[in-house]
């Protein structure tokens, strides 16, 4: 699968880059450095779509002939959004909260093609259940540094995978890029740019 226009990934996430590479798509990485403003009064699905739109906007305006992809991922437990931990202490706290619980990972996608005045957004939600974590397991994982740059303080693609007892939904969504949802959005709203 290739596109007739340049695909721009407006993210510095190595995980999203890796997932696009799995699709054998040609793309360039132009990270969006926009200050994220979480809107009031939106459900999690609305929040991630709006944040993805915010990320896509400045990059797509610079590369108006390209198709810009932006994404945003949050972890939600008991109605609370668990973002990236500020430090090791917060990472420990988040992992203790997730221990033995089921949380939901939401990822919002935004695809922007200013040349044809198109913007499409969608989201995916995946339920993830953690086993019970010991303090020793939490300490060892936090010591790797991996939890510090991830929503919810874990990565399903690294050692954090051993904490996951069950997953209900799109695995790749938990990594930060729901591939099926992305493909469906391409096919439904940007079919003219697909070169198959």
Q: Which residues are catalytic?
A: 72
Specify the residue for token string 């400045």.
58
DSSP H or E stretch at residue 111: strand 102-113
Residues contacting 184, CB < 8 A, separation 6+: 122
Burial class (CB in 10 A: 0-12, 13-18, 19+), 113: buried
- 92/89 Cα distance (integer angstroms): 5
Q: What are phi and psi of 54, to 5 degrees?
A: -60, -40
Residues contacting 2, CB < 8 A, separation 6+: 25, 26, 195, 196
Query: Of all residues in the chain, what percent are helix, strand and coil, respectively (each to 5)?
Result: 40, 25, 30
- 66/4 Cα distance (integer angstroms): 9
Contact predicate 59/36, CB 8 Å: no
């Amino acid at each position: 699968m290739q596109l007739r226009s340049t695909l721009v990934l407006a993210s510095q996430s190595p995980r999203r880059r890796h997932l696009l590479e799995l699709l054998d798509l040609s793309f360039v990485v132009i990270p969006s450095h926009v200050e994220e403003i979480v809107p009031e009064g939106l459900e999690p699905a609305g929040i991630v779509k709006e944040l993805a739109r915010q990320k896509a906007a400045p990059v797509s305006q610079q590369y108006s002939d390209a198709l810009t992809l932006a994404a945003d991922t949050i972890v939600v437990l008991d109605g609370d959004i668990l973002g990236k931990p500020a430090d090791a202490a917060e990472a420990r706290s988040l992992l203790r909260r997730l221990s033995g619980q089921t949380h939901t990972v939401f990822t919002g996608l935004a695809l922007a093609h200013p040349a044809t005045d198109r913007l499409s957004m969608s989201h995916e939600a995946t339920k993830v259940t953690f086993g019970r974590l010991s303090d020793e397991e939490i300490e060892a994982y936090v010591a790797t540094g991996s939890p510090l740059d991830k929503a919810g303080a874990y990565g399903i693609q690294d050692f954090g995978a051993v904490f996951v007892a069950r997953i209900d939904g799109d695995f790749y969504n938990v990594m930060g890029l729901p591939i099926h949802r992305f493909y469906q959005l391409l096919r439904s709203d940007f079919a003219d740019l697909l070169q198959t």
